[in-house]
Structure 1
Amino acid sequence: MIEIKDVTKDFPGEKRAIDSLNLTIPDGKIIGFLGPNGAGKSTMIKMLTGILPISSGQVTLNGLDIEKKPIAAKKLFGYVPDQPDMFLRLKGIEYLNFIGDIFDVPKQIREERIERLTKQFNIYEALGDYIQTYSHGMRQKIIVTGVLIHDPAIWILDEPLTGLDPKSSYMLKEMMRTHANEGNTVFFSSHGLEVVEQLCDEVAIINNGQLIFHGDMHELRDQYQSDQSLEEVFLELTNNE
């Protein structure tokens, strides 16, 4: 479970990026995190993961405060950023072993997971190549594989399907569903509203740094008295805001 309590983020000389945001992301569900460009989604995710400091408020992951106990909290989650262009001078296998070392994944378990996941994502044969030679989609796959190696309870995914081929995209969505069904947490940011509507149990919509809705599609349609698609409701809601 992720709990966001009265979280605010200010940047010097800029308008408030996140304004007293409260949100509970429960176990056993896929929660879609939505908002127009500049709404504060990536800023909030970076505070969730400890990349950015919190101006005020608190974020806890399975009860651990991300700022007071950062190392213990970071062992609980896997994070897919919105840009997969990292560790480009490492070979694929070097990167995955680096992640395995950080999270103390035993050698035998690590090797099995690396082989299984990279074969599923069709990048096994490229593990000996440098990540800088990978296509965008391959880089996305190696980052996702790294996230899954230590089998974290909490998945925080920022646009994870971008650049994936249809087969890999389908497989990752199935993995997300299975992970949630096993009682774990999946927090999923995406601009693909049709995917969110099909995949997510609940949606949280943010605009101008404030949470303007959290609930399932039935609650969203009831609240706004509409039988429109998520895309249509989202556009109407954020335009009104």
Structure 2
Amino acid sequence: MADAVVLEGLVKTFGGSLAVDHLSLRVPAGSMFGLVGPNGAGKTTTLSMATGLLRPDHGTATILGHDVWSDPAAAKAVMGIAPDGMRLFDTLSGGELLQFVGELRSMPRVLVRERSAELIQVLGLGKAENVVVADYSAGMTKKIGLACALLHAPRLLVLDEPFESVDPVSADTILAILRRFVAGGGTVIMSSHSMEFVEVVCDRVAVVAAGRVRAAGTTAQVQGGMPLRQRFLSLVGATGMPADGGLQWLQS
């Protein structure tokens, strides 16, 4: 398959601390791609550089043939992003926010109204359409963020912890939308801390630790015949509890 995303030699430092260390990764078009790693592994920084939110110190990022930094308008036109903790214009209602995003994308107003209405209905936000986003729950905020990312019908979705704080019913709806998106030729990259979820949902996965890719390929290849959680722990060098059990003072 052709590659929807090509990252080559990405490097990013913060105050002398190396967050991403010459990271290279390819994401085939039409895949549901999981990016997993421990806290501080560099996942969010990598996704930020891949989508043009953060300039790398070195390296390149290409989205569907468009260089993110030499041709940012073309690259951003074909992607939709929903970073974890993304600041929204939360004094707008959900409906107003989608209208505003449509204006930013130079979409016809009639088309924005049609798509907004459908997204709000499918995502179960009908009762909150006229409520300001500042009053949304964490799960509702995730859903309106996804609606904003989908509004212009991108070919690539980049989602940071898309199912965090989302109830099971809403998660099932979101997953159905993402699977339909991929079936229609789109590509999804999602970061997640849930190994079990990634193992079931994603057909390809990359494990990142200390700013480097430790393993990447089909989910089965990365698993290597073991549960993804176990494989992940072996790759990132998890130490677990000390041999003597530790924390003896917690025992009664």
TM range (shorter): over 0.9
SS of the counterpart of 1:215? strand
Alignment partners' CA distance in 2, 1:60 and 1:220: 24
Q: Which amino acid aligns with 1:171?
A: T
Q: Is 1:9 the equivalent of 2:7?
A: no
SS of the counterpart of 1:18? strand
Alignment partners' CA distance in 1, 2:166 and 2:115: 20
> Aligned match of 2:227 in 205, 226, 229?
229
Query: Which TM-score applies when normalising by structure 2?
Result: 0.89
C-alpha change, 1:143 and 1:221, in structure 2 (3 Å) is closer
Aligned residue for 1:49? 51
Instruction: Note the alpha carbon deviations across 1:141-175, whole angstroms, 9 max, x for none.
Output: 11111111111000001001112221221111122
Alignment partners' CA distance in 1, 2:46 and 2:113: 34
Alignment partners' CA distance in 2, 1:154 and 1:233: 28
Unaligned segments of structure 2, at least 5 residues: 240-252
Tell me by how many angstroms 1:94 deviates: 1.6
**Structure 1 residues 48-197: aligned runs within 5 Å:** 48-197=50-199
Alignment partners' CA distance in 2, 1:32 and 1:167: 21
Alignment partners' CA distance in 2, 1:84 and 1:118: 19
SS of the counterpart of 2:8? strand
Unaligned segments of structure 1, at least 5 residues: none
Instruction: Note the alpha carbon deviations across 1:105-125, whole angstroms, 9 max, x for none.
Output: 222322221111111222122
Task: Work out whether residues 137 and 164 of structure 1, in 8 Å CA contact, stay in contact via their aligned partners in 2.
Answer: yes
Alignment partners' CA distance in 2, 1:173 and 1:182: 14
Aligned residue for 2:248? none
Task: Work out whether residues 84 and 140 of structure 1, in 8 Å CA contact, stay in contact via their aligned partners in 2.
Answer: no
Tell me by how many angstroms 1:70 deviates: 1.3
Task: Work out whether residues 84 and 136 of structure 1, in 8 Å CA contact, stay in contact via their aligned partners in 2.
Answer: no
Tell me by how many angstroms 1:32 deviates: 0.3
> Aligned match of 2:206 in 185, 204, 207?
204
Instruction: Note the alpha carbon deviations across 1:56-96, whole angstroms, 9 max, x for none.
Output: 11001111111111122111110011114421222212211
Q: Which amino acid aligns with 1:237?
A: L
C-alpha change, 1:84 and 1:17, in structure 2 (3 Å) is closer
Task: Work out whether residues 29 and 181 of structure 1, in 8 Å CA contact, stay in contact via their aligned partners in 2.
Answer: no
Aligned residue for 1:30? 32
SS of the counterpart of 1:20? strand
Aligned residues: 236
Query: Which TM-score applies when normalising by structure 1?
Result: 0.93
